[in-house]
Amino acid sequence: MVAETDVVDLYGPLLEKALFPAYEAARGRPTVPLLRYLVRTEEWSPDRLRELQLGLLRRLVRHAHRHTAHYRGVLEARGMEPEDLRSLDDLRQLPILDRQTVTTTLEARTATAPPHPVVTKSTSGTTGQPVVVKYNAESRHWRDATRWRGYGWAGYRIGMRAVHYWGFGPPKESWIGRQKVALDRFLKRDFYVDCTPRGDGALASAVADIVDFQPQVMVAYSSGAAALARYVLEHGKKAWKPFPVLVGAERLWPSDREAIEEAFGPTFETYGCREVMLIGSECEAHQGMHVSMETMIVELLVTEADGSKRVALPGETGEVAITDLHNLACPMIRYITGDLAVAHGETRCSCGRGLAKIGPIEGRVAETLHDGQGNAVGGLVFNILFGVLEHVAEKFQVVQKLDGSVVMKVVPNGSPSLPDKAVRALQSFADKYLPQTRFTIEYVDDIPLTAAGKRKVVVVEKPA
């Protein structure tokens, strides 16, 4: 006799093997063939993978030199030609691309010849200074395939019932847009639960959603999954079979991993950013996060006393710099993400994959706010909103004062204050996620970095 759940789950394999590949092919997206390719290349030797990177890097720099004003100027100022890149070490002859430069050179980095950008979006601003990113279809396709490959190491396959315990941005403005999103999630078996409110009522509601949905996998903010896990354990609410949990957006602390695994199942840390999407993922060996070498070059850089930069040694923490090997439309070469990560050596992972490893990731922990009733609220909530405000503000920082009030410091973009529409959107967002909390906006000329070179997005004042 076939159980009811077995009958229902027949849709999963059908979606994975037939419906999803047909849907992607109909949209002209080679996601599935690229995924198959990545499953093969991850087994290559490190030397062979680096050879692949070098070939893609030469192509990228050649295109950037010919068709972008910015990189043509960069190479000419150094007396370089694309053919001078004879090894990956030669990449360090090019300057880093900091967040200020990436903002001011957007048009100068946009290629004048195909492939042209098909996607333009803003980062969520986890360092307090959002960045507009443009990329071509090839880069998008590799991003999708890379994500599915990395998720697959955790056991997440296309077609599985997945709960996304994630932050919610503003919904689509049009009714049709909202319905398309809802239909897409329904067909792909994706169920989204807002992880930002973390009071007992919100956590109880999230648990009820999980019980009803009975997911086969969870994708979550690290701190959100940890808060939910502790609620489950403290209240004896576990009512599901173990399932894998993929966490990201913030560092996964050992104690949080322990709680998540006890409440839900095996936990896998991921690292990504909107500029390139998935950068690294843990495999079943849990010996660090494998880097997506076929799609990007990841450098970990240490700044010396004289201001020069060098590659981090194994065990050292360095700034993350990424080069998207497939974004020809608006190249980002040696882009500093604002994150810090621990370097690994050349030792091959026990899983057998030849991909390099990094991690843990440091410097991405957002402090927890509290609303007027004392309920915990994830600090990343304002990062989510800022993605739609990048055209009116340059930088921001959220500060919760000792009296519980919240001040959002903003550096406006080209005007003394934010437009009324933006102010109303911020106030509405604060009313939703920080109820009964006094919320004000303060306009400032600049927001200083910390000693580590980071701009803290969320500051919670502590008693002296």
CA–CA gap between residue 42 and residue 283 (Å, rounded): 12
Q: Which residue has the higher pLDDT, 126 or 11?
A: 11
Mean pLDDT of 166-186: 80
Q: Which residue has the higher pLDDT, 378 or 157?
A: 157
- Amino acid 145: pLDDT: 97
pLDDT at 62 exceeding the cut of 70 = yes
Q: Which residue has the higher pLDDT, 57 or 178?
A: 57
Its pTM stands at 0.83
pLDDT at 104 exceeding the cut of 90 = yes
**Helix boundaries (H) for 320-380:** none
- Amino acid 39: pLDDT: 97
- Amino acid 38: pLDDT: 98
DSSP 3-state of 219: strand
437 pLDDT tier (thresholds 50, 70, 90):
very high
Strand partners, 439: 406
Mean pLDDT of 431-437: 91
- CB-based contact 161:188 (threshold 8 Å): no
Task: Give the up-direction half-sphere exposure of residue 56: CA atoms within 13 A in the CB hemisphere.
Answer: 21
Q: What is the amino acid identity at position 428?
A: S
Which of 457, 447, 449, 443 is closest to 412 using CA atoms?
443
- Amino acid 168: pLDDT: 72
Cis peptide before 360 (omega within 30 of 0): yes
Q: What are phi and psi of 223, to 5 degrees?
A: -70, -30
pLDDT at 454 exceeding the cut of 60 = no
Task: Give the up-direction half-sphere exposure of residue 162: CA atoms within 13 A in the CB hemisphere.
Answer: 23
CA–CA gap between residue 290 and residue 44 (Å, rounded): 13
pLDDT at 252 exceeding the cut of 50 = yes
- Amino acid 173: pLDDT: 72
Mean pLDDT of 89-102: 94
DSSP 3-state of 368: coil
Q: Which residue has the higher pLDDT, 247 or 197?
A: 247
Which of 88-97, 184-193, 387-396 has the largest mean confidence?
88-97
Task: Give the up-direction half-sphere exposure of residue 362: CA atoms within 13 A in the CB hemisphere.
Answer: 13
- Amino acid 456: pLDDT: 76
pLDDT in tens, 303-314: 888 888 999 999
| CA end-to-end distance (rounded Å), the chain | 66
pLDDT in tens, 266-297: 999 999 988 899 999 999 999 999 999 999 99
pLDDT at 419 exceeding the cut of 70 = yes
77 pLDDT tier (thresholds 50, 70, 90):
very high
- Amino acid 457: pLDDT: 79
pLDDT at 72 exceeding the cut of 90 = yes
Q: What is the DSSP string of 303-327?
A: E-TTS-EEEPPTT-EEEEEEEETT-
pLDDT at 349 exceeding the cut of 80 = yes
| pLDDT-above-90 percentage for the chain | 65
- Token representation of residue 307: 């201001």
- Amino acid 3: pLDDT: 37
| pLDDT-above-70 percentage for the chain | 91
Average pLDDT, the chain: 90
pLDDT at 450 exceeding the cut of 80 = no
- Token representation of residue 114: 């195909």
- Amino acid 187: pLDDT: 86
Range of lowest pLDDT (210-214, 251-255, 387-391): 387-391
Mean pLDDT of 384-413: 83
For tokens 């050649």, the residue is 62
- Amino acid 5: pLDDT: 45
Query: Mind listing the domains of the chain with CATH numbers?
Result: 4-44+138-362 (3.40.50.12780), 369-460 (3.30.300.30)
Q: Which secondary structure element, helix H or strand E, spans residue 125, and what is its range?
A: none
Please name the residues in contact with 176: beta carbons below 8 A apart, sequence gap of 6 or more.
none
- Amino acid 304: pLDDT: 87
- CB-based contact 351:161 (threshold 8 Å): no
Which of 303, 243, 339, 311 is closest to 92 using CA atoms?
311
- Amino acid 388: pLDDT: 58
Mean pLDDT of 363-381: 78
Please name the residues in contact with 273: beta carbons below 8 A apart, sequence gap of 6 or more.
123, 126, 279, 322, 337, 339
pLDDT at 170 exceeding the cut of 50 = yes
